[in-house]
Amino acid sequence: MFHKLHTRLIISHTLPILILLPAIAFVFLYLLESRHSIGDLADQLAGQGTLIIQIAPAEVWKDPIKAAQVIDQVKSNIPSRIMLLDATGHLLASSLDTDKDRIGQMIDFATVRQAVNGQTNWLVDYSPFMRTRILDMATPLLDENNRVVGIVRLSYDVTTIEQRTVPLTWLIGITFVAGTALALLLGIGLARSLNAPLMHLTQAVSVLTPGSHVQDLPENGPYEVKTVARSYNSMAHRLHELELTRRQLIANVVHELGTPLGAIKAAVEALRNGAVSDQTLAGELALGMNCQVDQIGLLIDDLALLGESEIKPISLDREWCNLEELIQVECHSYAYLVKQKRISLAYNIKVDLPRVFADKRRLTQILANLVHNAYKYSPPGSSITVSGDVLLKTDKTPSHVIVEVADTGPGISIEDQEKIFDLLYRSPRERNLHKGMGIGLALSKRLAESHSGSLTVNSILGQGATFKLTLPLS
């Protein structure tokens, strides 16, 4: 039972009431009875005892008859039982007839024993002679040498005082029961208000599966519950988006692999059907298969880098690289593909490019993605130009090396230019053309930035696009 949050919330609201109310009631009644009612009565008895001592002549403390006369004089004005005792605590006279047989006997009571020693004290205890609870006070009479001459004992029935607190006790009891019931109702209400959103969250999480319809939880209740609901809604939408992206990525990977694999299979079939006897044709088919394998290799590199970059920062194996040589190699690797598509591909190195301290494999991956992107979106008869240059400081010394890949394809709209470097983004105009997965440019930008460089695009719709890679030389 106690493992449920609902039960614990109810107990947490009612348990303090169940503990505190009885404790407060007990303390209140105790203080009312002992500190106020009993205390006031004790003060009255002390005053009455002092008054009796003052009016009693000296011979009273040795003569029982005169002691009885003094009691007869004052008992009508004092409702307590009055006893006069000698210096040793023996009874001389009493206002109660039931005490006549005890005349001359030693009164063995705590307050009397203390009075024999010269101390005034009072206590509340049960009296077997009065058969009730009494407030008992004994006041000694001391001579000039502080010796006890006599003792005045006053005993008052306190049951009447205790009866006065009975209505108050009932009131406190009723208040306790009402407070407990109210606390229980309040606890149940608050527990349900807190537990209901959590139950909705539990039910929503239990049916949440990738790709399922996302139904937002209501964001109500306390701040913490609202925060949990808001976090769940955000997580659910993000999970839904990731699932859609995953499905789209798988479909794109299948398509991207299907194209080069189809070309390779066609070349293999041609070779099996006799093309191997034609050396020129066989060489072109082998070159074509090699290019298609390179495309598959680029796709695998991008996917591997995507998985790595999502887990940890990209690691670089830096060395001094000849960027001009990398550009030439990459352009030559696309010579067969651009020829088949009737695209003009050229590179233009304006100056001797200085070496850069970078990861050669990652730079090749950036160049391959940029050239491949230009190749995919360039129509037959268009051109692609890869150029290299340096950016100079004010003192004419090189500070950065710049590589630009320009095409004369359809261009990129202003809206898309701000998003094409986002991972898995594909323009709505291109989503039905199956021309990419939306990871090549995003990964190339990450790689450029990991080299402390940058990758930007400049394009006018319908007039081609130019991607610019900037790498620092320091």
**DSSP assignment string, 312-373:** SPPP--EEEE-HHHHHHHHHHHTHHHHHHTT-EEEEEE-S-PPPEEEEHHHHHHHHHHHHHH
* Cα–Cα nearest to 99, from 107, 111, 89, 88: 107
In order of their start, the domains of the chain are 5-164 (3.30.450.20), 209-312 (1.10.287), 317-472 (3.30.565.10)
Which residue has better confidence, 459 or 8? Answer: 459
Which residue has better confidence, 140 or 45? Answer: 140
Confidence at residue 417, expressed as pLDDT on a 0 to 100 scale: 87
Given a contact cutoff of 8 angstroms between Cβ atoms, the answer to whether 117 and 147 are in contact is no
Confidence at residue 434, expressed as pLDDT on a 0 to 100 scale: 47
d(CA 116, CA 135): 18
- Describe the chain by its helix, strand, coil percentages, rounded to 5: 55, 20, 25
d(CA 17, CA 21): 6
Mean pLDDT comparison of 6-20, 262-276, 402-416, highest-scoring range: 402-416
Report, as an integer, the average pLDDT of 362-383: 90
Report, as an integer, the average pLDDT of 354-381: 90
High-pLDDT (> 90) share of the chain, %:
16
* Cα–Cα nearest to 172, from 20, 36, 15: 20
278-287 pLDDT, tens per residue? 777 777 777 7
Task: Read off the pLDDT band of 474 (50, 70, 90).
Answer: confident
Which residue has better confidence, 169 or 353? Answer: 353
What's the DSSP call for residue 59?
G
pTM above 0.75, yes or no: no
Q: How many CB atoms lie within 10 A of CB 352?
A: 8
Report, as an integer, the average pLDDT of 242-263: 71
Task: Read off the pLDDT band of 192 (50, 70, 90).
Answer: confident
Task: Read off the pLDDT band of 146 (50, 70, 90).
Answer: confident
Report, as an integer, the average pLDDT of 457-467: 91
Mean pLDDT comparison of 168-172, 358-362, 453-457, highest-scoring range: 453-457
Is it the case that residue 213 has pLDDT exceeding 80?
A: no
Which residue has better confidence, 60 or 236? Answer: 60
Instruction: Kindly list the strands in the beta sheet with 132-142, ordered across the sheet, starting from the edge strand earlier in the chain.
Output: 91-94, 81-86, 148-157, 132-142, 121-127
**Long-range CB contact pairs, 460-464, < 8 A, 24+:** 460/411, 461/410, 461/411, 461/412, 461/413, 461/414, 462/410, 462/411, 463/408, 463/411, 464/382, 464/406, 464/407, 464/408, 464/409, 464/410, 464/411
Is it the case that residue 322 has pLDDT exceeding 80?
A: yes
What average pLDDT does the chain have?
A: 80
Which residue has better confidence, 397 or 407? Answer: 407
Task: Read off the pLDDT band of 419 (50, 70, 90).
Answer: confident
Q: How many CB atoms lie within 10 A of CB 451?
A: 22
Which residue has better confidence, 279 or 73? Answer: 73
Is it the case that residue 217 has pLDDT exceeding 70?
A: yes
Confidence at residue 385, expressed as pLDDT on a 0 to 100 scale: 94
Mean pLDDT comparison of 51-60, 246-255, 338-347, 427-436, highest-scoring range: 338-347
Q: How many CB atoms lie within 10 A of CB 341?
A: 16
Is it the case that residue 158 has pLDDT exceeding 70?
A: yes
Confidence at residue 311, expressed as pLDDT on a 0 to 100 scale: 61
Is it the case that residue 185 has pLDDT exceeding 90?
A: no
Determine which of 178-182, 315-319, 369-373 has the lowest per-residue pLDDT on average: 178-182
